[in-house]
Each structure stands twice: as structure tokens, then as C-alpha cells.
Amino acid sequence: MSRKALIAANWKMNGTKALIEAVNNVLAEIDTEAELLICPPATLLPFFPPSNKVALGGQDVSAAVSGAYTGQLSASLLKEAGATYSLIGHSERRQYQFETDALIAEKVVTAVTAGLTPVLCVGETLQERQQEKTQQVIAKQLAAVYASHPELLVKSVIAYEPIWAIGTGESATPEQAQETHAFIRDVLQSYDNVAAQQVRILYGGSVNAENSAALFTQPDIDGALVGGASLKPDEFAQICLNYQTSAKE
Ligand code: PGA
């Protein structure tokens, strides 16, 4: 089953109009097999020029459709600003905004209903990995969304982001990542067998120009969610170039 790769940039609370220009200039020059996605701070979305090459996404979306939710952004607001995707359930939101699996599931429903593609982020802490609970934790995070809404899987992207690898410079090894990606695909089969083969599972956590090519050779790694390295235009472009279907194991 060949899946179109997706390389996504998560700028987090960083970025400027100058970075938009620099990244666009570099990406315009490269020929990559992957689809490209940038998730900047939402205030920057309208400053991206229209592009066929780079899709835009939010970093979060409200579970509510509209109304009195000070500070939140609805799916339709994000869409109007140019987004077609949104990250949902990033570990920094789970940790700092106390987002629960139940809230994250609501957000996925709201996003899909409004026509945004959710990039659902899952992953374990270092302690959970050491206690050999990685699979249990991830199965629960996936079940929270897809057990009651299996029909949403075909409209989703999944990002596996081990929390111990985010921003630490210590990426999962290609073998560690592949093992968990294969597990995720297995779990998803119980919700929708066909969609589980089609859904793109991105790896995130200290992806950079050096380690990305080896990660991308793994059969169940369909792209990357890149934080820190996505703020360096040349490095992000190199990561995009490193995705080569022909190198898949
Ligand atoms: P990182 O962040 O690449 O800086 O580790 C990834 C993420 O949090 O999405």
C-alpha cells in the first residue's frame, strides 16, 4: 500500500513574517515526493501567500463550533485564515492545557465536521516507556477517538510523538519508531481495516536533517512532524528532500 508522505512543520509559539518568506523561498526551489504542511501560530496564517505546494494548519482547534469561548479558535476561523489541517492533542497541550482524551476526541469530531483534517498526536512519556506501558498508553489515546467514531479514521492523520523525544535532541531510533507505528496501524485495523492501511502515520520528536532519511526508510513511517528543525528553512527543506519512496524497506 503506497501512502503519499506528509512532512509537517510545527512552529509552536515561534515564527515571524520574515520566516514565512524564507521558508516559502526555499520550498519553492525543491522537488519533493511529500506533501508539505506548515502549522504556524494562527496569527500568521493569513500572511502565507496562496500555494499549491504547502498546506497550512492550526496547532489546535476548539471543540466548540462558535460562541463565548474567549481565546479559543474554531475550525471555521482557522479555515477562513487558510488552514486545511489542524494538530490536535499535541503533548504540550495535553500537559500545559490539561487536555484530556475526551476533549481531544471532541476536537477531532469538530475538526472533521468542519472539513479540517486532524493530525492526532499520540505518544508516551519516558516513565511510561520505562514501565513498558507505551502500547497501553497509545491504544487508550487512539480508542478515545476512534472506538466511538471509527468513520473519522479515513479523514485523519496520526502523529506518533514520544514525549521523551520532543525537543530533547534524542529521537526515537528508526526501529523504535517503526515498532510503535506498526502497533498503531494494528490497533487502528480494529476500527477500520481499510482506513488503517491508508492513514498516514507521521513520526515526531527531534527529527532533523541527519536522522530523517533513516526514519523514512521504515515501512510504516509516512512522514514527519517537525518542531525545532522546521524553524530553519534549509534544514526543513532537506528533511523534505530526504523522503524517498524508493528507499522504503
Ligand atoms: P521537535 O518537536 O521536533 O522540536 O522535537 C516536535 C513536535 O513537538 O511536534
- Residue 43: which H helix or E strand, with range? none
pLDDT at 1: 60
Enumerate the active-site residues: 90, 161
Strands (E), the chain: 6-10, 35-39, 54-58, 85-88, 117-122, 157-160, 200-204, 223-226
Is the CB of 167 inside a 6 Å radius of any atom of ligand 1? yes
Q: Is the Cβ atom of 208 under 6 angstroms away from ligand 1?
A: no
DSSP string, 202-219: EEESS--TTTHHHHHTST
pLDDT at 115: 97
167 CA to centre of ligand 1 in angstroms? 5
* Binned average pLDDT, 10 residues per bin, the chain of 249 residues: 92 98 97 96 97 96 98 98 98 98 98 98 98 98 98 98 96 97 98 98 98 97 98 98 89
Q: What ligand 1 atom has the least distance to the C-alpha of 87?
A: 9
- Identify the three-state secondary structure at position 19: helix
Nearest alpha-carbon partner for 225 in 112, 87, 109: 87
User: In this predicted structure, what is the pLDDT of residue 245?
Assistant: 87
Domains of the chain: 6-228+240-246 (3.20.20.70)
**Which ligand 1 atom is the nearest neighbour of the CA of 171?**
5
Query: Is the CB of residue 223 below 6 angstroms from any atom belonging to ligand 1?
Result: no
Regarding the beta carbon of 162 and ligand 1, being less than 6 Å apart is answered: no
| pLDDT on residue 249 | 74
pLDDT, position 2? 82
